[in-house]
Amino acid sequence: MTSIVWLRNDLRIDDNKALYYACKHKKSNIIVLFIEIYKNKKYFSISYYQKIFIYKRLLYLKKKFCTLNIKFLYKKLKSFNESIKYILSICKKYSIKSFFYNIQYELNQFNRDLILSKKLIKNKIKVLNFHDNCLISPNIIKNNSGNTYKIFYFFKKKSLKYLKKKKIICLSKPKKRIKNNIVFKNKEIKFNYKNKLFNEKKFPFKDKLIKKKIFFFFKKKIFLYFKNKDFLYLNSTSECSLYLNLGVISIRRFFYYILKYNKNNYKSSFILLEKLLWRDFFKNLIFSYQNLSGNFSFKLCKKKIKCKKNIFYFKSWKQGLTGFPIIDAGMRQLKKTGWMNNRLRMITSSFLVKNLLIDWRIGAQHFMLYLIDSDISINNGNWKWISSIGTDSVSYVRMFNPYIQSKKFDCNGIFIKKYVKELKNVPIKNIHKPYLWLKKNEPNTKYPKPIIDYFKTKIKFIAKIKKNE
């Protein structure tokens, strides 16, 4: 008997539900399949940094699967429809009896899997799917009416009660198979991808190095995480969102680490757990209300607020040339490394939507194209939250003042000067508003003056919001 396990955002061997249950049949041949869709809709594109990481991870997993006598098959295709046709063809070719996969919740992916499953069942192939991408499976945490919570506070409250009662179990790695008689042609498992500016030290792809990175955080950084996580120059976050979003480490395993290192670190551990629950919250929402994968939002204004189609503003924002040092440093870091910490993501996205008045979808797409940890449901949820059209529970308009945020989380301009080299000579007292100092002392600088008046745009945005209440 031969079975297929379809890997997607679950790039691991340990604690992988689909792989674990496929391997329970000791005598069956196992094929692990990964399909790259390289001509997808722009909104669902992933960043160059994430592509590089995925390729390196797949090459690593290929070797690991080989030691377990599990065959690995890679295929590059143009569309979801092609992936369905290809899977049906290899199922026929290798006489597949069972097909295993972990569920994806986004609309297009979910519908693709539904169509495929029906066709596989029609061909008398057993289909087994699993909720593997959330700490608590969707449809468990519901309100009294049986619906999915739309406000995080209530979702978190009920989730914490559930976690106190229910034990979260991590599954073991599959053991080495007795044999595997399947033979692939070399061209089917060949990888070709250019490696340019990928930082393997910051984002390792081998299990041992990933564990080393995670344990370093829990042993050295977690004690002050609750105090330091927002300071841009300290690098005090875990940087594990990449591993969770691509399923390189299971969310259950990460939860176990939080519990293990909870002693004397209660505040930090609770914040980390809260972040996992935010992740679950967005996954639950997109599973229950799948039109959230696109442009639909919970909060609709009576009259649409007109967004500017200002190409100059958007180019200035994405290139880090707004004249606001904290915004520019963040956007340049994103372009150079594929990474920004959560505080900086909120500051830069708020600025684009509420000060430059540019459509949130344009910003969301840009983040998807650059963030190494990009994830449709989380990216989408965060952008709607910051735009005040999502699940934000506050009654007031939430805005991030870049001057205040800069002084608070990069008081000496260490982070700013790292990424905005034009400001290297600016004194600390002028670093957050450098234009007048530059005009007087370095008149030939290429660093721009602020492209907007922050306070005027803030008043204008709030006035537009009030008109629509």
> For the residues 138-165, what does the mean pLDDT come to?
94
Over residues 100-105, mean pLDDT = 96
**From CA 219, how far away is CA 380, in angstroms rounded?**
32
**pLDDT-derived band at 300, boundaries 50, 70, 90:** very low
Query: Worst-scoring range by mean pLDDT, 118-127, 188-197, 203-212?
Result: 188-197
> Model-level pTM?
0.92
Are 445 and 317 in contact by the 8 Å Cβ rule? The answer is: no
The pLDDT of residue 305: 54
In terms of pLDDT, which residue wins out, 149 or 290?
149
Q: CB–CB of 41/365 below 8 Å?
A: no
Q: Which residues are CB-contacts of 86 (< 8 A; sequence separation ≥ 6)?
A: 35, 75, 77
Tokens 């599973």 label which residue?
287
Report how far residue 220's alpha carbon sits from residue 234's, in angstroms, rounded to the nearest whole number. Answer: 13
Give the strand order in the sheet containing 29-37. Answer: 71-77, 29-37, 2-7, 96-102, 126-130
Q: What CATH number does the domain located at 2-132 have?
A: 3.40.50.620
Distance CA 136, CA 163 (A): 8
- State the pLDDT at residue 382: 92
Q: Please determine, for residue 204, whether its predicted confidence score (pLDDT) is greater than 70.
A: yes
Question: For 387-431, what is each residue's pLDDT tens digit?
Answer: 888 776 565 678 999 999 999 999 999 999 999 999 999 999 999
Per-residue CA distances from 253 to 122, 131, 171, 176, 279 (Å)? 36, 15, 9, 22, 15
What share of the chain in percent tops pLDDT 90?
A: 74
Q: Residues spanned by CATH 3.40.50.620 within the chain?
A: 2-132
Tokens of 411: 């008081």
pLDDT tens digits for 247-259? 999 999 999 999 9
Within a 13 Å sphere around the CA of 255, how many CA atoms are in the beta-carbon half? 23
Residue type, 414: I
Model pLDDT for residues 363-375, shown as the tens digit of each residue? 999 999 999 999 9
Q: pLDDT at residue 118 above 50? A: yes
Q: Is 16 a residue whose pLDDT tops 50?
A: yes
Q: Within the chain, which residue ranges are assigned CATH 1.10.579.10? A: 311-467
Could you tell me the CATH superfamily of domain 311-467?
DNA Cyclobutane Dipyrimidine Photolyase, subunit A, domain 3 (1.10.579.10)
Instruction: Return residue ranges of the chain for CATH 1.25.40.80.
Output: 133-169+207-288
Domain 133-169+207-288 belongs in CATH node 1.25.40.80:
yes
Q: 306 pLDDT exceeds 70?
A: no
Quote the pLDDT of residue 449. 96
Identify the bridge partners of residue 3 per DSSP, sorted by sequence position. Answer: 30, 98
Q: CA-CA distances (angstroms) from residue 466 to 271, 351, 353, 421? A: 33, 19, 16, 40
- What whole-number distance in Å separates Cα of residue 266 and Cα of residue 88? 50
pLDDT reading at 261 higher than 80? yes
